[in-house]
Structure 1
Amino acid sequence: MGPWAYELKLDGHRTVLWRTGGGVRLQSRTGRDVTSHWMDLAVAAMALPPGVILDGEAVIYLSDADGGAARISFEAAQSRALSSARRASELARRRPATYVAFDILAHPEAGHPDLRPRPYQERRQVLLDVLANVGPPIEPVWSTTDRDEAQGWYETLEGAGVEGVVAKPLRSVYRAGRIWSKVRHADTVDAVVIGFTGAARRPTALVVRLPDRRVALSQKLTTALAAAVAPRLMHEGGRASTTARDVYTSVGGEVAVEVVVGTTRHAVLTVVRLR
């Protein structure tokens, strides 16, 4: 594949950003329109040329109680993403977001209606050129071709909310991450929800089917996650049990969640976010 570039993997919400002819639209990785949840980013992105499409991460930086260096807070981003539109607006005023772009898919004004077939190295330069005239809170992700520098990021920035490092071949086309190599401090996978414990209106935990077909019970859901997942569960009312004899209510549908891989060897795992 040739030489590689190394980017920071940030702990936020993956979001595609469209600068349309008349505004801005943000979409989650599952295709949901999340513009109302990240309206502060949508307003800032009006500075982009019409037709530009970015792929990146919506993150929120928080300073510690002593006013020290800011760190990325996944919890703050999760609270924003799972809140109502009105609540998201309130949170944006208190904790504004940053959009960290790691790719550009289109830039019609520069003669590139579709940049996805172009090599990463070329797309990266176009991304830097586009964002040079925009500025925060829309900014490019840190990237380097120096393996030692990337290793230094991996070893020193975990406490700042950095998940790890993503390696991308300089000649690679855009294929939604299929040929990228991710090195995380704690890896995750997507799982399908097949049941829940507790009340249907406020589930206590989820039962999921993992990619290897195993069924496992999650740890207790946070209040925000429980409130967000409840409306998306199709309650069937059947009773079932895991191999560990945990009784749960089965559900239908294709609700997906992201879970921490480090706990999946055991009967209990951690749900990180809805997909």
Structure 2
Amino acid sequence: MPATDDRDVAEHWYEALQAQGLEGVVAKRGTAAYPSGRREWVKVRHADTVDGLVVGFTGPRLRPQHLALVVGDEDSQVRLSTRLEPVLATHIGAALADAEAIGERRAEGATYTRIQTDLTVEILAGSGRHGTLTVVRMR
């Protein structure tokens, strides 16, 4: 595994190697040993900011836990966001209060309430192995 203590080299690797599938870099103190069972190293992953159409939610409507999202064109697969932060969940819940429910569906092994809404959210779409969708804010 390549390593460097030169910040400019690390930033170059971070930017240039993404096209080859590198999901990011790991940053740590040069003297730090491998911390068995602890998370002292920092992973810096690539993520793009994109918009996602909200098509559903898990948990209670007024404080949803996850959003069911369509990212890209309308024919894209529905994916679930990471767990919403409490304050953001409250704001999104208020925006979803009057949305028409059109049944339950499944995505990524979980059941969500499908709704009819035009609510769009800004998300960080991680490029790592798991490709997480983290909701940043409502549009």
Q: TM-score range by the shorter chain?
A: 0.5 to 0.7
Correspondences of 1:114-133 after superposition (within 5 Å): none
Among 250, 254, 257, which residue is 2:118 paired with?
Answer: 254
Q: Give the Cα–Cα distance (whole angstroms) in 1 for the partners of residues 61 and 82 of structure 2.
A: 17
Code of the aligned partner of 1:236: A
Among 10, 23, 47, which residue is 1:186 paired with?
Answer: 47
RMSD value over aligned CA atoms? 2.2
Partner residue of 2:62? 201
Partner residue of 2:135? 271
Instruction: Report the structure, 1 or 2, having the larger helix content.
Output: 1
Partner residue of 2:25? none
Indicate the structure (1 or 2) with the bigger Cα radius of gyration: 1
TM, length-normalised to structure 1: 0.31
Runs of 4+ in 1 over 3 A off after TM superposition: 263-268
Post-superposition Cα deviations, 1:191-225, rounded to whole Å, max 9, x if no partner, equal 10000000011111101001041210011100111
Post-superposition Cα deviations, 1:147-170, rounded to whole Å, max 9, x if no partner, equal xxxxx8xx5xxxxxxxxxxxxxxx
Among 77, 101, 109, which residue is 1:214 paired with?
Answer: 77
CA change 1:264–1:216 in 2 (3 A) is farther
1:199 aligns to what SS in structure 2?
coil
- Aligned-pair identity in percent equals 40
CA change 1:218–1:246 in 2 (3 A) is same
Q: Give the Cα–Cα distance (whole angstroms) in 1 for the partners of residues 128 and 138 of structure 2.
A: 17
CA change 1:239–1:261 in 2 (3 A) is same
CA change 1:263–1:230 in 2 (3 A) is farther
Partner residue of 1:225? 88
1:206 aligns to what SS in structure 2?
strand
Q: Give the Cα–Cα distance (whole angstroms) in 1 for the partners of residues 131 and 77 of structure 2.
A: 10
Partner residue of 1:119? none
Q: Which has the higher contact order (CA 8 A, sep 6+)?
A: 2
Query: Which residues of structure 2 form unaligned runs of 5+?
Result: 1-7, 12-45
Q: Give the Cα–Cα distance (whole angstroms) in 1 for the partners of residues 118 and 128 of structure 2.
A: 20
Q: Give the Cα–Cα distance (whole angstroms) in 2 for the partners of residues 270 and 220 of structure 1.
A: 8
CA change 1:240–1:267 in 2 (3 A) is farther
Partner residue of 1:239? 104
CA positional deviation for 1:268: 4.0
Correspondences of 1:91-170 after superposition (within 5 Å): none
Q: Give the Cα–Cα distance (whole angstroms) in 2 for the partners of residues 193 and 235 of structure 1.
A: 12
